[in-house]
A and B are shown apart, each in its own frame.
Chain A
Amino acid sequence: MLDARGRSCPEPVIMIKKAMASNEDEYAILLDNRTSLENVSRFARVAGYHSDYTEENGIFTLKITKK
């Protein structure tokens, strides 16, 4: 589980991009704002992953799985 809470643009996307270098089928990342959620989801999509999130008290848990 990556923790990108409190990280400002573009750090969350850099975190997931670096994590993806390990080429696993599934990742999860914690985010605390919509802009980062949109940015990471968009990057995941372009990188060939499917993404889905749940929200609790303003914290998003984004699950990213290989298509």
Chain B
Amino acid sequence: MIKNEKIVIVIAGIIIGIISVTLVLLGNPANMGFCIACFVRDTAGALGLHRANAVQYIRPEIIGLVLGSCLMALSKKEFSPRGGSSPLTRFILGFFVMIGALMFLGCPFRMILRLAGGDLNALVGLVGFICGILAGIFFLNRGYTLKRTYSLPKIEGVIFPVIQIVFLSLLLAAPAFIYFTEAGAGPGAKHAAIAISLAAGILVGILAQRTRLCMVGGIRDLVLFREWKLLLGFLAILASAFVMNTATGNLSVGFANQPIAHTDGLWNFLGMLTVGFGSTLLGGCPLRQMILAGEGNTDSVITVIGLFAGAAFAHNFSLASSAKGPTTNGMIAVAIGLVVMLIIAVVNTRKAAATVNN
């Protein structure tokens, strides 16, 4: 069974890599077949939560991820509404994970896709990401916990998937109060056809739900338990997207002039350090949070809402980087984020024996 699980996640990773590059070929921004941070940011913009008109579009991939996970969880009887594990703390962690991701310009998923496209800045990001995970593991080993979750009524778990259907309706109806980036005005205007993006999201949502794929979990489990399963998924996406990029002439190795990326090594490092640390404290990367949200986990829903709030702040207050590089405001925000995460880690780390005597 162990072998079987590993084979399944490798196959899933290969499929996800192929889907990701295919989305770029069909219209998505370069090295952005999937990016949870970027897509949440675009959706926040479309809803008018920020007015950066280059990055506004309701991304069907996000809708698909949540719905795919939800459908799969329902069919496998794994749909389980729950919540109550330090929700506000999770919101704040989600907020600063987004600030870190928009410093680097991508979530861990896009970091892999950037690496697979030959963007060496992502290698610097990966080093920061690993350091952030190691910092999180330091606290996990000393008893860090956001306390337990509790079962909730069914309806609580259904709300977030229903909101995705509302988002899909808004995308299709395109009422005047929804903002869409005009053609040629930025990454928000670059996207595959709605049906294709939605199908891709659903498929990846199903695969990620079944395999428990998590970009942060791979490195974390290898360090903590010498357990390779999740990391194999990560590596399979990297390998398959790399082969796809090479085959389609989309590979360009180097630091300079990479699509939707900047070359400031220190801040690429610190941005992903923040993402790795925060995601480890949350128990999963932004993709994993999206999948858990689809399974009815409202702690993850709160985390995702934190991502939305972080994205809105990032573009309302010039915290997000651009191809030109990071902004001073962004540097201050990332520094604050690291301090806040450190405080959260310290105050939630206590030696406690969680046993029941019977």
Contact = CB atoms under 8 A, between A and B. Distances in A.
B354 A10 contact: no
Contacts, number: 71
B80 A10 contact: no
16 contacts: A1-B356, A2-B354, A3-B355, A4-B354, A5-B148, A6-B148, A7-B148, A9-B214, A9-B217, A10-B220, A10-B225, A14-B141, A15-B354, A17-B225, A32-B80, A32-B151
A6 B221 contact: no
Contacts of B148: 5-7
Contacts of B299: 8
B195 interface: no
Contacts of B358: 1
Given A3-B355, A9-B283, A58-B80, A46 B226 contact: yes
B225 A43 contact: yes
B140 interface: yes
Interface in B72-93: 78, 80, 82, 85
A34 to B, nearest CB: 6
B173 interface: no
Interface residues of B, number: 33
Contacts of B224: 10, 13-14, 17
A45 B355 CA distance: 22
Closest 3 CB pairs of A and B: A6-B148, A8-B283, A6-B149
B145 interface: yes
A46 B227 contact: yes
B2 interface: yes
Interface SS of B by simple majority = loop
B284 A14 contact: no
Given A10-B140, A10-B217, A43-B225, A30 B356 contact: yes
A45 B284 CA distance: 23
A17 B80 CA distance: 26
A33 interface: yes
Contacts of B151: 32, 58
B356 A3 contact: yes
A45 B227 CA distance: 11
Contacts of A9: 212, 214, 217, 283-284
A1 B151 CA distance: 21
Contacts of A15: 354
A26 interface: no
A10 B284 CA distance: 9
Nearest to A11: B145
Contacts of A46: 2, 225-227
Contacts of A13: 224-225
A8 B141 contact: no
B355 to A, nearest CB: 6
